[in-house]
Amino acid sequence: MYVAQKQPKPPPGGACVHRTGQESPGRCGYGLVTMESLLKSVMVMLFAFIIPLENGVRSSPCAEIQVGATVVVLGSSVNASCLLREGCPLTEGRSFRVEWHLNGQVLAALPPANQSSRVFGVYVPSFSETMGYLTCCVRQETECQIVAGMEIRAGYPPSAPQNLTCLTNLTKPYTLTCKWEPGLETHLPTNYILHTERNSKTRTRPRVYQLPAGENVCTILRADFPLFSKMRISVTAQNALGLALSEPLFLDPMEAAKFDPPVIVDVQAEPYRYGCVKLWWKLSEQQMWVLNNLAVEVRFRMWESEAWTVEMKRIDMAGLGEALEQCGMQHGTEYQFQMRVRYGQGPWSEWGDSRTRSTLERAPNDKLNVWLKVLRAESETHISVQVFWKPSKNFRANGKNVSYHVFLLGLPDRGRQQIVCRTRELHCEATLPKGTKRVYITALNSAGESSRIAVPVYQLRVPPGLEPVSDINVCPVGNRSLQVTWTPPVSPVVTEYVAEWRPLLQTDPHFLSFQLLDRNETSILISAGIEPYRPYWISVYARSKDDISLPCTVQGYSLQKAPSAAPNLRVGDIHHTRAKLAWDEVPLEQRNGMIQSYALFYWDEGGRTQVVWVKPAERRVTLTKLSPMSMYKAFIMASTEGGSVNGTIVTFRTGTADAWSDMLTVVPASVGLVLLFILTTLACFTTLACFTKHERLKMRFWPMIPDPANSSIKTWTEADTLPDFPAFQNIKDIQDPTPVHLSWFSLLDVLEGRQEKSGDGVPTTDDTWLQGGDLVESLTGSTDLPGNCEQEPLRDMVPYATVVFASPYRGQARSPSPIYLRSDSTQPLLGEESPSPKPYQNFRFQEGGRERPQSDGGSSVFWEEFPLLSVLNVNDAHGEA
């Protein structure tokens, strides 16, 4: 195997070590005299790395370890053996076994070749660690004693260095610096060797420079390289697993030199040569000895511009001290100049310091694009106008201090022009006499004045035959551009369009921009000065030869997002079932887009949430159907195309219902009920009238009920009052269409000649029919009628009646009042009387009927208790009841 040898330590500071030809050519191949011998040495080193010459040995008094190689390729297999020495106290006369450990992990040991062998082997199929410590251990019972160990490293052979470049520094001290890319990671210490070789007339002189491990930059001093002859440079990468050579680099160190930036001494504008300047320059003091094969680049730009114009010039020995001429610049414009230099095809130096100079001024030339619009009439004799202009593509100001004049030409008999506006801005506002047809504008600088431009003055009106544009629309293009389109009018007199725009938050004319468009153009892309989240006001005018139409205006955003703030919600009038809420419009600078809608969220104490959507033009809402005396919370959300923002939550409480509110509620309800009752009554009468015309329906819904007031009892004769009542069906005079047979109804005639009771209370013979109360008892079922209200049989009885006449009612001129007697019956009456009727007393009948029976409660109680029998009250001849 290969036995690692100690390398000489490099000098401190990381500089490469130079070895000359007088040194011994032995170690690591350094110091070889010829390139051929160097290559032979490299081959010997490669063979030494790949083919191991002897095993590495790590031993101890008890054992020694032998391995195939202490440095292996990562992932390859490893074989090792542990030889136990004779006389080792750990194994002599004891029972033991040998274990292998790799970084603390137990490995499976190979069995010895025979029982007497003291060599124990191990096989690692894949060594996956970049560094490992392999140990041999003798185990006795529970203890394991390490008897030998060895460190093994794993990695990869080096890859060939790439992108070898060298750069010459001509600033003292002169040096040649080379650098390269190391390639893939090897996980092993890798050294680099720089080889240089230059050809002279007599011999080839190689040089070898050793670098510290890991360094990939080497700097060579001026004594070891020529300036004006070719060199061959290469790099060798080397580690314990092998070496690799880079592609050789052939270069002239002078053409690899990077010069210092040149110095611009002065810049002067050339007299009578507009747009031309001269530059005086020089090299740095340490490089002024270079006299030929130089190239310089001059770049220039207008002041505060970002675009440079670059021109390259070749410099020979004769032109080294002369000034450089630079032309093609605008007149009267301040420029910034810089220079850099290189030798041959070498690298450019850095750009030198800047110098500024203005070119000669000249009168402005070419035309301006002008846009004039009438604002209003100041008086009966003057109008107010705004004039905007900007340079056309070919316009040249040809000077720094340019001003603009807007004027009127006087009449031939009035002489000179009348200045209405003089400014350095690109706009002005002026007052013109009414009837002015055109104004003129010129640009001036210190060198002269441009030709005048006539601008017609058009009144904003609806001229005949010239309609405004329609269907104007704006769409964002990216985040900083707007695409505006419109539908042109059908009028053939349109010659051009004028599009103007400005930020909606800015009213200063300085922020207004415009562009003139051909009649065939129906769209414009606006990108100058457009910012996201800002509103822009855009108008388009149609122009003819003699008129201009009214504008068509639209508002647009290049990019929208949620408003920066939500509107403040205010609580207005609150009633018991409704509440009014209002809010202010979101300020324009906080909208960040077009407000699409407002959404009002509100909820009660129970958490029941409702939403009301409001159009962006409306800023108030009335919440209805609220619960009286309830707490509510609400907030408003404002939305744009880019997002939404929620406002703060407000709290309000509904009130109680007042009298006026009750009246407003009750009166309409009452009126409605009255109308409903009237309609229902009319419907009932209509139905009743319909039913009365149909006897069958009438009898089914309203059956015939006998009416005592209309009864035929009044037509009965004395013969009809025979004791064999109540056979009413045998009486032929009764004409009741639907006779009703009473369960018990009697007519009694009181004898006219009856006597009154004797003084001792004994009744006479004339009223023997009343003796002992037999008659009353037979009628009432009890002799003790008054006060007998608690007897159970009477509770279910219905009082019927017997009418007693003092004399036959047909035979008396003066009819006595009928006597009413109570009767008890279990048959229900037609009218539902009280189930517990009041007790009644017997009456005394006076002779001739003059004395009427009196009850305890008075005569009024008599007819009130029996309203249906009140019609039987027969009037006497004198009209008494």
What is the structure's pLDDT at 207? 86
Torsion of CA 14, 20, 24, 28, to 10 degrees: 40
What is the structure's pLDDT at 661? 62
The Cβ of residue 496 has, within 10 Å, a number of other Cβ atoms equal to 16
Measure the CA–CA gap between 586 and 640, rounded to whole angstroms: 12
Using pLDDT thresholds of 50, 70 and 90, give the confidence band for residue 838: very low
Measure the CA–CA gap between 331 and 55, rounded to whole angstroms: 86
HEC string for 402-439: CEEEEEECCCCCCCCCEEEEEECCCEEEEEEECCCCEE
Ramachandran angles phi, psi of 36, nearest 5°: -65, -45
Residue reference for tokens 């059908």 = 490
> Which residue(s) pair with 389 in the sheet?
370
pLDDT reading at 643 higher than 60:
yes
At 354-402, the pLDDT tens digits run 999 988 888 888 889 999 988 877 788 889 999 999 998 888 888 778 8
First to last CA, the chain: 162
At 842-851, the pLDDT tens digits run 434 344 444 4
C-alpha radius of gyration, the chain, whole number? 66
Among candidates 706, 821, 835, 694, which has minimal Cα distance to 770?
A: 821
pLDDT reading at 28 higher than 60:
no
CB 789 within 8 A of CB 836: yes
Amino acid identity for residue 254 in this structure = M
Among candidates 520, 634, 653, which has minimal Cα distance to 583?
A: 634
At 207-264, the pLDDT tens digits run 899 888 888 899 998 888 888 888 899 999 998 889 999 999 998 888 888 899 999 9
| Mean pLDDT of the 765-788 span | 40
What is the structure's pLDDT at 591? 93
Measure the CA–CA gap between 382 and 388, rounded to whole angstroms: 20
| Mean pLDDT of the 408-413 span | 68
Residue 523 in tokens: 């769209």
Using pLDDT thresholds of 50, 70 and 90, give the confidence band for residue 802: very low
Residue 173 in tokens: 């001290």
Q: Residue 780: CA atoms inside 13 Å, Cβ hemisphere, count?
A: 21
Residue 595 in tokens: 């407000």
At 259-303, the pLDDT tens digits run 999 999 999 988 888 889 999 999 988 888 888 889 999 999 988
Percentage of residues in the chain having pLDDT higher than 90: 29
Report which listed range, 31-35, 112-116, 600-604, 810-814, is most confident: 600-604
Query: Residue 187 to residues 14, 69, 241, 246: CA-CA distances in angstroms?
Result: 21, 16, 11, 20
Measure the CA–CA gap between 441 and 403, rounded to whole angstroms: 11
What is the structure's pLDDT at 92? 74
Report which listed range, 173-177, 709-713, 753-757, is most confident: 173-177
At 550-570, the pLDDT tens digits run 899 999 999 999 999 999 999
Amino acid identity for residue 719 in this structure = A
What is the structure's pLDDT at 64? 84
| Mean pLDDT of the 123-151 span | 85
What is the structure's pLDDT at 428? 93
What is the structure's pLDDT at 855? 41
Burial of 226 (0-12, 13-18, 19+ CB in 10 A): middle
Report which listed range, 463-467, 605-609, 799-803, is most confident: 605-609
**Which range among 138-142, 297-301, 496-500, 711-715 shows the weakest confidence by mean pLDDT?**
711-715
What is the structure's pLDDT at 790? 38
Among candidates 649, 650, 646, which has minimal Cα distance to 566?
A: 646
Using pLDDT thresholds of 50, 70 and 90, give the confidence band for residue 83: confident
CB 178 within 8 A of CB 234: no
CB 635 within 8 A of CB 601: yes
Among candidates 336, 365, 351, which has minimal Cα distance to 450?
A: 365
Hey, which bits of 231-381 come out as E strands?
A: 231-239, 242-245, 249-251, 257-258, 263-269, 277-282, 294-302, 309-315, 324-326, 334-343, 355-358, 368-377
pLDDT reading at 780 higher than 70:
no
What is the structure's pLDDT at 836? 44
| Mean pLDDT of the 727-740 span | 44
| Mean pLDDT of the 452-460 span | 86
Using pLDDT thresholds of 50, 70 and 90, give the confidence band for residue 2: very low
> Which residue(s) pair with 122 in the sheet?
80, 109
What is the structure's pLDDT at 497? 94
What is the structure's pLDDT at 750? 47
Burial profile 381-395: b = 16 or more Cβ within 10 angstroms, e = fewer:
eebebebbbebeeeb
**Is the pLDDT higher at 685 or at 788?**
685
Query: Residue 586 to residues 505, 562, 567, 593, 639: CA-CA distances in angstroms?
Result: 14, 12, 5, 11, 11
pLDDT reading at 871 higher than 90:
no
CB 595 within 8 A of CB 617: no
Among candidates 488, 511, 593, 502, which has minimal Cα distance to 539?
A: 502
Among candidates 480, 632, 625, 630, which has minimal Cα distance to 558?
A: 480
CB 583 within 8 A of CB 568: yes
At 191-203, the pLDDT tens digits run 899 999 887 665 6
Among candidates 247, 228, 235, which has minimal Cα distance to 343?
A: 228
Residue 244 in tokens: 């690799």
Using pLDDT thresholds of 50, 70 and 90, give the confidence band for residue 69: confident
Hey, which bits of 128-240 come out as E strands?
A: 131-140, 143-155, 162-169, 175-181, 191-199, 204-210, 217-221, 231-239
What is the structure's pLDDT at 471? 93
CB 141 within 8 A of CB 226: no
Give, for 635, the enclosing helix (H) or strand (E): strand 631-640
